[in-house]
Every structure is written in structure tokens, then in C-alpha cells.
């Protein structure tokens, strides 16, 4: 109890309460539908009504991972469908608490307060509590896994990583890559515990893969993924226009509706080979959206037009809004870069703090980007931004309250 009381800092309690209130305020402002929300809703209703993971209540699907639709289905079975937003407010607040713990045990209390406060208020992170998509749950599980790894809880990390993959399959290559690196003796000391982490993560995922083999004959976590992502990543997106509308116009509808991932991958490679310059232009138009949030989701009158149109018509309120969002994101990126540089001598011991961030950045280079895909990276950017302000070397900052050595 004494150890727990030392860790239950008043600023931690305050910032978690603030995070919860902010997320409730976004939900009160208005829940919304977009992205993959209709798909998750259809899967959840099928589970709740018929016990079938599919879209029509009868035909099993392998399109999506199961965890997030199962959470929504639980709220339907309990006859409180709107509870998914309350759950996400709680999960988002828990993410803030875990980030505090991760930074506190690494860079010290002051940095922990800074990083957690920034995450509590982060507008896009908080706003996504009010939409039924997987990013809030996925971000929490990824942050929890890295906290567990950093504090020496390899088994908990493996379970959390496995659940992350069952929420968004995009993280599966990260787990497999960790396993491959652990097999190299020279690298093993830099990723301690990785063998147990990978084994447990794959063990958590295995039953769902086995189910998909039985259903479709394919060893897959989710069919919707790299093929459609690579194809959509060949389209030059223009600001001030709905990106989904641009994709539909380019392909005459959603390309994944009537094609397999293999066919979509082949189609994407053909487009890239035929016009590599156009593909590079497409990536340059899309990739900045991973880290640069222009506030397009903000439901205010000033945000109803793009910045180009606002400039043409003298809508300075829109320009100020966009500049504030973009400028804030650029500032976070700069601070995070400086924080990494300041801690460069300790990077071999801080793998949990930068490995997922690096993976997210590299994984999205060739494939389609939406701003929400950068949400799992935001907590770690704030971690590294706070590292710039650590007052003493890492060993002193961690002090006696650290649960276990990192690395």
C-alpha cells in the first residue's frame, strides 16, 4: 500500500479526471459516424443477434479483427449501445494514466505530468472517443504493451500486443519483426524479453487465425489490409476535399468490395510500375497526414471549407484554425525530435519508447494514410517531447519509484 500511495500522485489523479471530462465533453458535443464505423456496427449487430462474426448475420467474415466489434456487441447485448462511447472515454483516460507511468519511470515526474496533460487535451485523440472506430482501444493496448515491456512485465506485454493485433491487424508485422530480431544473438540484449513477448502475442492471436483458416482456408488475422492500403496509396489526394470521395471517384467505388487482397495488391503494383512518379507524388500528398492534423474533424462553422477556399474568400477564421492545428502538430514533431536527440545515448535501453513509433512511421510510407492512423503514434511523440525537459540524467530521474529497468 505504501508503494501504491507513492505512485498515486495528485497530478496523476487530476490529469486522468481532466482527460475523462474532456472526452465526455467531446461526446456531449456530438457523436459522429465515419471511417470504418459502419462496418464495425454491422459486425457487432451480427454477433449480438446471431452469434456470427459477419455482415449479414449468417455468413462468417474474415475481413476484420474481432476484438473491437466484440466490445460493441457486448454493449448491444446489455441493451446500452451508446455505452461504447463511455467505454472509450474510460479507455482514453486510462491511456493518459499509462503514459504518465511510462514517462514517470523513465524521465521523471515533471515530464510525466507534461506528457500526460498534453495527451489528456490532445484534440484528435479526445475527439475519437466520440466515434465507434477501433483507434481509441488500439492506442490504449499499444501503450499498455510498451509500458509493460518497459517495466519488465514481458508476459503482460505479450498479451497486450496480441490483443492489439486482434484490434488492428496492422501491428502483426511489428510482432513478427520483433521475433526475427530476437533470433539474432547480437541484437537480443537490446530487446530483452522479446522471445516471451512474441510467443505470448502469437498465442493470443492463434485461435482467431485458426478460426479464419477453418472459415476461408487462409491463415489471416484480417483480410482488409495491405492490398487495399497499397492501392489507395497510389491516389494523389487534394486538400479541401473528402479523401474517401476522391478514392471512390478514382476507382469507381470502394475497390475492396469485389476483390481479394491479393488482386488489390497486384492492381496496386501494376499502377506503381506503370507510373512510379505518380505514386511518389501520391505518397507525398498523403504521408504528411499521418502526423499533421489540420482539425478537419472539428464540428464548427469555421471548419466547413478547405484552407485554399478560405484563402480565396478571405475566411480568416478558417485559416487561423488550420494554421493553429498544423503549427501545433509541427511543434510536437520538433520537440519529439529534439527529445530523441537529447536521449540518444540511452536509445538502446529505451526500445519500448521508440520502436512502435518508428514502426508506425515506416509501415505507412507505402500505403494509404488517414490522420487517424497516426493516433497510436501521438502518445509516444508526446513522451519524446517531454524527454526534452527532463532536468536530470535518466538514471536519476527514474529514481527509486521505477518498477523495473528498461531494457
| pLDDT of amino acid 6 | 52
* DSSP H or E segment with residue 57: none
DSSP structural state of residue 395: H
pLDDT band at 382 (very low <50, low <70, confident <90, very high): very high
**Which of helix, strand or coil describes residue 47?**
helix
The answer on pLDDT for 256 being more than 60 is: no
Average pLDDT over residues 284-298: 87
Is the pLDDT at 403 greater than 70? The verdict is no
Tens of pLDDT, residue by residue over 163-220, are 999 999 999 999 999 999 999 998 899 899 999 999 999 999 999 999 999 998 989 9
279 contact partners, CB below 8 Å, separation of at least 6? 233, 234, 271, 272
Q: What is the pLDDT of residue 261?
A: 76
pLDDT tens readout for residues 301-340: 767 666 777 777 777 888 888 889 999 999 999 999 999 9
Q: The whole model's pTM is what? A: 0.91
* CA 321 – CA 123 distance, rounded (Å): 13
214-218 long-range contacts, Cβ below 8 Å, gap at least 24?
215/60, 215/62, 216/62, 218/62
DSSP 291-339: T----TT--SGGGSS-HHHHHHTT-HHHHHHHHHHHHHHHHHHHHHHHH
| pLDDT tens-digit map of 43-98 | 999 999 999 999 988 999 998 999 999 999 999 999 998 999 999 999 999 999 99
Amino acid at each position: 500500500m505504501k508503494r501504491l500511495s507513492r505512485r498515486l500522485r495528485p497530478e496523476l489523479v487530476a490529469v486522468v479526471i481532466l482527460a475523462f471530462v474532456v472526452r465526455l465533453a467531446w461526446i456531449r458535443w456530438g457523436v459522429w459516424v465515419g471511417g470504418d464505423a459502419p462496418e464495425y456496427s454491422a459486425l457487432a449487430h451480427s454477433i449480438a443477434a446471431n452469434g456470427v462474426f459477419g455482415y449479414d448475420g449468417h455468413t462468417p467474415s474474415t475481413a476484420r479483427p474481432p476484438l473491437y466489434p466484440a466490445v460493441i456487441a457486448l454493449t448491444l447485448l446489455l441493451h446500452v449501445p451508446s455505452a461504447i462511447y463511455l467505454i472509450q472515454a474510460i479507455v482514453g483516460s486510462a491511456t493518459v494514466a499509462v503514459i504518465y507511468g511510462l514517462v514517470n519511470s523513465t524521465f521523471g515526474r515533471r515530464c510525466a505530468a507534461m506528457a500526460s496533460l498534453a495527451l489528456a487535451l490532445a484534440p484528435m485523440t479526445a475527439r475519437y472517443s466520440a466515434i465507434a472506430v477501433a483507434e481509441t482501444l488500439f492506442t490504449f493496448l499499444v501503450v499498455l504493451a510498451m509500458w509493460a515491456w518497459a517495466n519488465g512485465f514481458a508476459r503482460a506485454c505479450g498479451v497486450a500486443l496480441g490483443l492489439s493485433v486482434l484490434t488492428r491487424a496492422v501491428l502483426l508485422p511489428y510482432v513478427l519483426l520483433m521475433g526475427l530480431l530476437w533470433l539474432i544473438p547480437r541484437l537480443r540484449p537490446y530487446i530483452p524479453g522479446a522471445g516471451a513477448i512474441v510467443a505470448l502475442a502469437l498465442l493470443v492471436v492463434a485461435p482467431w487465425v485458426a478460426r479464419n483458416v477453418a472459415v476461408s482456408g487462409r491463415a489471416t488475422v484480417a483480410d482488409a489490409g495491405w492490398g487495399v492500403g497499397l492501392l489507395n496509396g497510389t491516389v494523389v489526394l487534394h486538400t479541401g476535399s473528402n479523401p474517401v470521395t476522391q478514392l471512390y471517384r478514382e476507382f469507381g467505388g470502394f475497390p475492396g468490395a469485389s476483390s481479394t487482397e491479393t488482386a488489390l495488391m497486384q492492381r496496386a503494383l501494376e499502377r506503381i510500375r506503370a507510373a512510379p512518379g505518380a505514386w511518389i507524388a501520391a505518397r507525398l500528398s498523403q504521408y504528411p497526414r499521418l502526423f499533421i492534423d489540420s482539425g478537419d474533424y472539428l464540428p464548427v462553422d469555421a471548419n466547413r471549407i478547405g484552407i485554399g477556399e478560405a484563402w480565396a474568400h478571405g475566411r480568416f477564421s478558417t485559416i487561423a484554425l488550420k494554421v493553429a492545428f498544423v503549427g501545433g502538430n509541427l511543434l510536437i514533431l520538433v520537440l519529439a525530435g529534439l527529445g530523441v536527440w537529447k536521449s540518444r545515448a540511452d536509445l538502446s535501453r529505451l526500445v519500448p519508447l521508440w520502436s512502435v513509433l518508428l514502426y508506425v512511421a515506416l509501415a505507412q510510407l507505402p500505403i494509404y494514410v488517414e490522420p487517424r492512423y497516426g493516433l497510436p503514434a501521438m502518445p509516444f511523440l508526446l513522451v519524446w517531447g517531454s524527454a526534452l525537459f527532463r532536468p536530470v540524467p535518466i538514471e536519476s530521474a527514474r529514481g527509486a519509484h521505477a518498477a523495473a529497468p528498461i531494457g
